[in-house]
Structure 1
Amino acid sequence: MFSTSKIKSVDFYRKIPRDLTEASLSGAGLSIIAALSMIFLFGMELNDYMTVSTSTSVIVDKSTDGEFLRIEFNISFPALSCEFASVDVSDVLGTNRLNITKTIRKFSIDSNLKPTGPEFHSGPVATNIKHGDEVDEEYGEDAIILSAHNFDRFASHYPIMVVNFYAPWCSWSQRLKPAWEKAAKILRERYDPEMDGRIIMGKVDCTQEGGLCRRHHIQGYPSIRIFRKGSDLREDHGHHDHESYYGDRDTESLVATMETLVASIPMGSEKLALEDKSGNAKRPAPVTGGCRIEGFVRVKKVPGNLIISARSAAHSFDASQMNMSHVISHFSFGRRVSARLLTDAKRLIPYLGGSHDKLNGRAYISQGSESNANVTIEHYLQVVKTEVITTRSSREHKLVEEYEYTAHSSLVHSLHIPVAKFHFELSPMQVLITENQKSFSHFITNVCAIIGGVFTVAGILDSILHNTMRLVKKIELGKNF
């Protein structure tokens, strides 16, 4: 067993009897200053320990979301009808997807960008519409010529009025004309407008009656509309019952459709026609001339384009009348980050998310005058991925995967149908932001260094001050040493 004296011999902190020590005012002052310094430095060290620090590096993209990227958007076009609005995707690898509909929703909107009804369903796209062979046959002008002056009078007089809105320069309109006139002649003979009065077929030249065509939101030629008497009584939040016809355009198909429409109206009746069996060829016509397009598309992580335009396999468009002005409510890459996760991430990186949706709330307007005709609005987007890694609980945890981008936009005159184009390029590099977790042992070591260092420095200063004061006293007493 060790004796008590032997244990005492290893004491690092041997004590001086209290009656052999002397307190001084200078020592007391230095002690107070030293204590305050210790507290101040301890607070700074504690604050540094509690503050989150990060390190940023640039590495080759190691995305966990595969080779595809999600583009989410909500864009309003005040002058593009939902009837022909198409979302297309292309890239440098040759991918070319036209009129994407599965993940896209459309809503007709008014001039204030407010929806005028439920979701607009454009239905299946007709890729091979049948036309008649009456080109070489002689045909008269049996369809009623309609204008802004007589349109409403005919529409209110006949239970059903079917109108061909056309443009003489349009090749599709030229192919339809013989069949349309022949069908009008057959219907006139079967259902005499004076004796029967249940149906009439008319036509509107949109190059002559531009105001009338704009009033009915005609953007593609030819547009065949079926007007039922009383359709101007729009109730139920803008619901209306006139339709667009998208079926075959040969004489037989046109006559069959008209027969079905007439069959639901008794002779001499003015009541509205009921739904018929040819509904697949007809869909509700757009209530207004604007369209809000929202949804998402998935694209490959290579340079490419997201294009929104007017598209149809059996209609022509007047480029000088197309206006692709739009207001972007939302446009982002990748999946949306929840508010909670984004708040946690901003704890590390305050500026994170500032460029996630850089185009939000911006409007790009083309006035549509002659000087602004055929204007394509292009957006060039440079996309970079930012990944935030947190190291809480001594384990790495992926907090946020964020795609941020820069945007440059321009209005370009084009010889073709104007479009809204979003050209995107993804960087092959990504920004990796990692949280640096501080060691508690390092914090304790620094605290000990602060306490020991301040105590030692204060002791040195006290010794110097004490000896200096003794020396001054000796000189004052005239002592030699």
Structure 2
Amino acid sequence: MKLSAIDLFRKVPRDLTHGTSHGGVLSVLALSLLGLLFFFETWTYLAGSTATSIILDDNADAKLQINFALTFLELPCSFATVEVWDYFGNNRLDVTADVRKTRVAGRHGEYVTGQWTDESGAVGHVEPRVAAGIPAPRDMPGPSAKLEQLSAAEFDARLAKEPLAFVAFLVAWCGYCRSLAPTWLSLASQVGARNLPVKLFVVDCVSSEALCAKQKVRGYPTMRLYHNGAAGESDYAGERSVDALAGYVREHANLPAEVRAATVRVSANEGCSLTGTLWVHRVPGAFHVIAKSDAHTFDAANTNTSHLVQHLSFGAPLSQAVMHRVPRDVAAAIQPLDGRGFVNRVGAHSHEHYIKVVSTHYRQGTLVGTRDVLGYQQSVSSMMFNAAPAVPEAKFSYDLSPTAVVIQQAGRRWYDFLTNLVAILGGAFTVFGLLDGAVYRLRKGNRKGVTSPLSVKSPPARPM
């Protein structure tokens, strides 16, 4: 028996068939649709799908990595401090940290004015309990000490007349200001003997509170150089002795004019950009960014913790290959604070962010098995409140969820793909064949119903 006898796909000779115009149109449409169906089905197979499940978090890591990049718009780097505390705020924790500070200026921190290291200058100071016992010259140096005390009305005009002015912003209730007063008086009396081209002034920030707020004085005492009325790039942060202060003045006085002009601060708002990494224990806790100094006292009303969050994430950064396959709703929860700003128009307000950290396992199939990549999602709530009389801060409280999310690629088997592809393409082809047959029969029926005028016989003539 020949194989042709069992052929299920018998052929019709081409000379027994004929084409139609509507069949050609349907063929073009069919080929276009079949091509699109093939493309999308193949794309769906290659892209795969994801399945999500919830499990108990069995992460046994001892440490949790926190990555951050924060810009504080009105908190100088000399005061900005990062501390990690337990969740209840009772104990400060010793953690491994890598924090870098960059001095910025401008309303949005758009000007970078240089790097800052906390070791740039050791400040000599007296402890508050000791300083409280130092008698102050009626608490503030006065004209009798050859110091001119400036008020808000004359501040700008008076400093504009001086090529170089050194101003101390003090308050009577600050122990550090009391300890500085004798040194400041001694320096003023030695300006002539040391041949210092500077004029010393003092501002009482109790009676001139608005002036100190306008000058963005964050801590007391603050010592600042002014060049023809323009504030210098940074405040004095060195040792508080006559020799050190005199050396600081002489160093700036000897600068060339063009260099001195470059050191004038570009904005009254001096801020700090903090970037770094913390490695904390995997227990609930919080890291704080606060104004802190061993030699200054802070006024809550003049401390502003407005900040921008450029980046905040937990764990090791995920690769682009992993992020590319993460669902959009999950990707949005990995770094939900990125790009957000938290601004208060007045001081004495703290910001607190409550972050629930959820372990997330990204499982991807490979040629040799399944690869598990650990990441973290965040659920964040933020609030702002009046912190007075305490010094404001920015607080990031984190708590780890007891459950974890598993996101796994759930791709189809290759034979499922082929089966679906054949079914879809075959079904579409069959539908177009049925549609072509229906149109053909309809048009053929219409032709039979129409009679040609030439085929109509004339009626017989009547006999005359």
Which TM-score band (shorter chain)? 0.5 to 0.7
The answer (yes or no) to whether the contact 2:66–2:315 under 8 Å persists in 1 is yes
Note if 1:246 corresponds to 2:237: yes
* Structure 1 counterpart SS, 2:247: helix
> Aligned-pair distance for 1:202?
2.1
Note if 1:430 corresponds to 2:430: no
The answer (yes or no) to whether the contact 2:105–2:268 under 8 Å persists in 1 is yes
The answer for the alignment partner of 1:273 in structure 2 is: 254
1:216-240 CA-partner distances (Å, limit 9, x unpaired) = 431100012244x5584xxxxxxx8
> What is the letter of the counterpart of residue 409 of structure 1?
S
* Structure 2 counterpart SS, 1:352: helix
Q: Could you say if the C-alpha distance between residues 302 and 319 of structure 1 is closer, same or farther in structure 2, counting changes exceeding 3 Å?
A: same
* Structure 2 counterpart SS, 1:378: strand
| Residues in 1 aligned to 2:337 and 2:255: alpha-carbon distance in whole angstroms | 46
* Structure 1 counterpart SS, 2:114: coil
1:58-110 CA-partner distances (Å, limit 9, x unpaired) = 3343558x422222233333332333122222235987369998422323221
1:259-308 CA-partner distances (Å, limit 9, x unpaired) = 435767xxxxxx93259xxxxxxx99895424242312222221111211
* Structure 2 counterpart SS, 1:403: strand
The answer (yes or no) to whether the contact 2:187–2:246 under 8 Å persists in 1 is no
Q: Could you say if the C-alpha distance between residues 138 and 396 of structure 1 is closer, same or farther in structure 2, counting changes exceeding 3 Å?
A: closer
1:183-221 CA-partner distances (Å, limit 9, x unpaired) = 433x15735xxxx67333321112233344344431100
Q: Could you say if the C-alpha distance between residues 284 and 17 of structure 1 is closer, same or farther in structure 2, counting changes exceeding 3 Å?
A: closer
The answer for the alignment partner of 2:149 in structure 1 is: 145
Q: Could you say if the C-alpha distance between residues 123 and 215 of structure 1 is closer, same or farther in structure 2, counting changes exceeding 3 Å?
A: farther
* Structure 2 counterpart SS, 1:367: coil
The answer for the alignment partner of 2:13 in structure 1 is: none
Q: Where in structure 2 are the equivalents of 1:54-453 lying within 5 Å? A: 54-63=50-59, 66-92=61-87, 96=92, 102-124=98-120, 126=122, 129-130=125-126, 135=134, 141=142, 142=145, 143-152=147-156, 155=159, 160-185=164-189, 187=190, 190=193, 198-227=197-226, 229=227, 232=230, 243-249=234-240, 253-254=241-242, 256-260=243-247, 272-274=253-255, 288-298=268-278, 299-343=280-324, 345-346=325-326, 349-368=327-346, 374-393=348-367, 395-398=369-372, 400-414=373-387, 415-440=389-414
The answer (yes or no) to whether the contact 2:219–2:296 under 8 Å persists in 1 is yes
> What is the letter of the counterpart of residue 257 of structure 1?
A
> What is the letter of the counterpart of residue 125 of structure 2?
I
The answer (yes or no) to whether the contact 1:108–1:286 under 8 Å persists in 2 is no
The answer (yes or no) to whether the contact 1:108–1:120 under 8 Å persists in 2 is no
> What is the letter of the counterpart of residue 296 of structure 1?
G
Q: Structure 2 regions of 5+ residues with no counterpart?
A: 9-29, 257-262, 428-464
Q: Could you say if the C-alpha distance between residues 335 and 212 of structure 1 is closer, same or farther in structure 2, counting changes exceeding 3 Å?
A: same
1:102-156 CA-partner distances (Å, limit 9, x unpaired) = 4223232211431252334454574762589993597974122123454456545
Q: Could you say if the C-alpha distance between residues 150 and 327 of structure 1 is closer, same or farther in structure 2, counting changes exceeding 3 Å?
A: same
Q: Could you say if the C-alpha distance between residues 124 and 340 of structure 1 is closer, same or farther in structure 2, counting changes exceeding 3 Å?
A: same
* TM-score (normalizing by structure 2): 0.67
Q: Could you say if the C-alpha distance between residues 144 and 46 of structure 1 is closer, same or farther in structure 2, counting changes exceeding 3 Å?
A: closer
> Aligned-pair distance for 1:422?
0.9
Q: Could you say if the C-alpha distance between residues 261 and 362 of structure 1 is closer, same or farther in structure 2, counting changes exceeding 3 Å?
A: closer
The size of the alignment, in residue pairs, is: 382
> What is the letter of the counterpart of residue 221 of structure 1?
Y
> Aligned-pair distance for 1:418?
1.0
> What is the letter of the counterpart of residue 328 of structure 1?
V
* Structure 1 counterpart SS, 2:113: coil
The answer (yes or no) to whether the contact 1:81–1:217 under 8 Å persists in 2 is no
The answer (yes or no) to whether the contact 1:108–1:288 under 8 Å persists in 2 is no
Q: Could you say if the C-alpha distance between residues 100 and 85 of structure 1 is closer, same or farther in structure 2, counting changes exceeding 3 Å?
A: farther
| Residues in 2 aligned to 1:67 and 1:200: alpha-carbon distance in whole angstroms | 57
* TM-score (normalizing by structure 1): 0.65
* Structure 1 counterpart SS, 2:317: coil
Say what the alpha-carbon RMSD is for the aligned residues.
Answer: 4.4
The answer (yes or no) to whether the contact 1:385–1:430 under 8 Å persists in 2 is yes
| Residues in 2 aligned to 1:165 and 1:145: alpha-carbon distance in whole angstroms | 10
1:238-258 CA-partner distances (Å, limit 9, x unpaired) = xx8565333443xxx22x224
Q: Could you say if the C-alpha distance between residues 263 and 424 of structure 1 is closer, same or farther in structure 2, counting changes exceeding 3 Å?
A: closer
Q: Could you say if the C-alpha distance between residues 244 and 305 of structure 1 is closer, same or farther in structure 2, counting changes exceeding 3 Å?
A: same
The answer (yes or no) to whether the contact 2:309–2:341 under 8 Å persists in 1 is yes
Using the aligned pairs only, state the percent identity: 24
Q: Structure 1 regions of 5+ residues with no counterpart?
A: 1-7, 19-35, 233-239, 265-270, 276-282, 455-481
* Structure 1 counterpart SS, 2:178: helix
The answer (yes or no) to whether the contact 2:71–2:307 under 8 Å persists in 1 is yes
> Aligned-pair distance for 1:395?
1.4
The answer (yes or no) to whether the contact 1:322–1:374 under 8 Å persists in 2 is yes
| Residues in 2 aligned to 1:328 and 1:284: alpha-carbon distance in whole angstroms | 28
Q: Which moved more, 1:240-249 or 1:293-302?
A: 240-249
| Residues in 2 aligned to 1:138 and 1:416: alpha-carbon distance in whole angstroms | 28
> Aligned-pair distance for 1:317?
0.9
